[in-house]
Structure formats: C-alpha cells, structure tokens
Structure 1
Amino acid sequence: MPDTPCAPQVAAPDLRAQLARWPSGVAVVTATGAGRPIAKTVNSFHSTSTDPPLVGWCLDHGSSQLDEWMAADGYVVHVLAEHQTHLVAQFAARRDDRFAGTRWSPGLDGMPVLDDDVAVRFECRVRHRLPAGDHTYLIGEVVTLTAGPGTPLLLRR
C-alpha cells in the first residue's frame, strides 16, 4: 500500500515539546566533510539491524553542515558516558570549530574519533540516505565497534 500523506493533526512545536519528555541516549556523530572534521550532537541514534550490522540517525535539513553530512561516505557515533555532559552542548553549538579543546585522532577512512572515554563507539560506512520529512535518515554499516568504560548518558528534559 503506498504511503499517502495525511493532513497534520499535531503542530510541530507541540510534538517537539512532548517528545522532549522522552529520555534518550546522547551521542556525538563525527565525519569528514569537505576535507575537514564535522560533528553534531544527536539523540536520534538507534539500532537498525544486527544482520547486517546497521545503525542509523536522523539529520535535520536545517543543519548548518547539511551538504557536508550528505556527501560524507561514513560517520563515527560516539555514545557519550555520564561524565561527558560538557560535550553535549559543545557539539550541538552552531559554530565552525566544534572540536576546539577536544582530543581526537583519525579513525576509519580518516574520520575523527574522539579520544575521550565514550561509552561505545561505532565506526560506520554510509549504506543508505532516506528522505524522512524534514530530516534524512542516514543508515550506516558498522565496521568497527569499541566498548568503553562507563554508563551511557541519558538526556532528560
């Protein structure tokens, strides 16, 4: 049966306010875009498939780095640990150098890997970019997986 859009019954601000009440994990996603490291804080990261190993996250079309993310061949998801609340705001900020003051090194295909002790790190190659309303759903195949110390950080508003 084809997807038929229905008339919206819920206003975007109301939906956003209520979804913010749902606790979720917090991750920093990094990649290389236009020859430089790019990053953003996300709470839309999730498992997509275990066979093959796929994970995904949603990219807002209003992102200041939209073109760079759409051109990236891969990404690294850093699931933040409870002691890393300072990284949430740093990588969510709309500024050119979100990496200022952080330690990172090149990982898979030269993508930036944060040197901090994140709870889990997934290095991925993009397999699908799917349109999803005002976002694009980026699905990546997990190439390397690193479990770190600590408990994952939960975002509660």
Structure 2
Amino acid sequence: MDSPSRRPDRTISAMPQHTPPAPVVNDPATTPSALRRHLARWPTGVAVVTTVVDGRPVGKTINSFHSTSLQPPLVGWCVDHGSSQLDDWLAADGFVVHVLSADQIPLATHFANRSADRFAGIEWTAGLDGMPLLVADVPLRLECRVRHRLPVGDHTYLVGQVVDLTAGPAIPLVLQR
C-alpha cells in the first residue's frame, strides 16, 4: 500500500449545490393520491403478469415488480386489495412476469384496462402449469411458483421462485409520471 506521501494528488469535486426547499409542515403528500403523484417521479419498469385460475387466463399490467433474492431466485410484486382480480391472484399457484419493451406501450395499456377478458386479441401459449406466456417479444420473461403471499397495508405482496426465464435484447419500457 502506498504511503500517504506517495499517493497522487486527488481532487474531489462536489455536485453543484442547490438550496433544498424549506420543510413543509403537514405535507399533504401523506394522502394516497399525493403520495402516488410524488412517487411517480421515480422511474420504474413496466411488466405484464399472467397466471391461470380454474383454466382461465388472468393478466394485469404492473410496475411494482422487483428482484427479492438471488439465492433462492425470488421475485415479487404487489396486488392492490381493491383489484377486481385480487381473488384470482391469491388463488394462483404461480405467475409469469413479462417485462415489456419500450415499444410495447399498447400491450401495457391493454392489460391495464378493466375489461373482463384481458386476453381478447392477445396471442399466448401455455407455459409452466398452463400459465399464459405472451407470444410478444419481451426483454425478460420469468416463470415463477408462488412461495409467499404477505398482506402489506392495502396490498398483498406475492413472492415467486423463478423456475424458468427467457431473455431477449429489447430495451425495457420505463414509466415516470
């Protein structure tokens, strides 16, 4: 290790300084709508998650997906307790996460709608345990078996163990505001 006298001179520069806004007392950001609006500043990926319940395909657009553990390989996402599909997701033995590409906004919009049959007009094939695999080319697809269902506030956190994955070269879709 070099002695302090032999180390080359190092210059540390700081990011340009700005004056932070004054703290706000009783910030309305604690309301659900304000918190959602403020958190929209944070960019997040967009995915479609699919499953099968009683032989019927189920799917929805999510932006709460993330890696949970590498050993064992676990991923998670959250479903709102107000979702019309909550019972389906709580009954599902597994799920497939399809990370969408930057040019798949129409697919994200399609699965975000509240129609009863979100698979109308969508090409898919059966994967693990019959779960729907979207035929669309996606940057990443993870087939998972549910390992944990954890109620957290007004959502349930679903954790799945990755049992198969397919990766492609497409650039992922990112949502911000």
Pick from 97, 100, 107: which aligns with 1:80? 100
Corresponding residue number in structure 2 for 1:112: 132
Higher relative contact order (CA 8 A, sep 6+): 1
Give the structure 2 partner of residue 16 of structure 1.
Answer: 36
Q: Judging by fraction of residues, say which structure has more strand.
A: 1
Q: Distance in 1 between matches of 2:60 and 2:134?
A: 12
Q: Which runs of 5+ in 1 are unaligned?
A: 1-8
Code of the aligned partner of 2:155: H
- 1:37 aligns with 57
Q: Percent identity?
A: 66
- Equivalenced residue count is 150
> CA separation in 2, counterparts of 1:100 and 1:90?
9
Which residue of the partner structure matches residue 3 of structure 1? Answer: none
Q: 2:5 maps to what in 1?
A: none
Separation of aligned partners in 1, 2:33 and 2:113: 21
Q: Give the unaligned 5+ runs of structure 2.
A: 1-28
AA aligned to 1:71 is A
Question: Equivalences for 1:1-157 in 2 at 5 Å?
Answer: 10-157=30-177
| Root-mean-square deviation over aligned CA pairs | 1.3
Deviations 1:134-154 (A, max 9, x none): 000000000001002311110
Distance in structure 2 (CA, Å) of the matches to 1:146 and 1:35: 24
Residue-by-residue CA offset, 1:6-55 (whole Å, 9 max, x unaligned): xxx81111101101121100000000123200000000000000000000
Scaled by the length of structure 2, what TM-score is found?
A: 0.82
Q: Distance in 2 between matches of 1:131 and 1:54?
A: 17
Q: Deviation digits for residues 102-142 of structure 1, max 9, x if unmatched? A: 11000000000000001100000000000100000000000
Whether contact under 8 Å (1:120, 1:146) holds in the other structure is: yes
CA distance in 2, matches of 1:99, 1:36: 10
State TM-score, norm by structure 1. 0.92
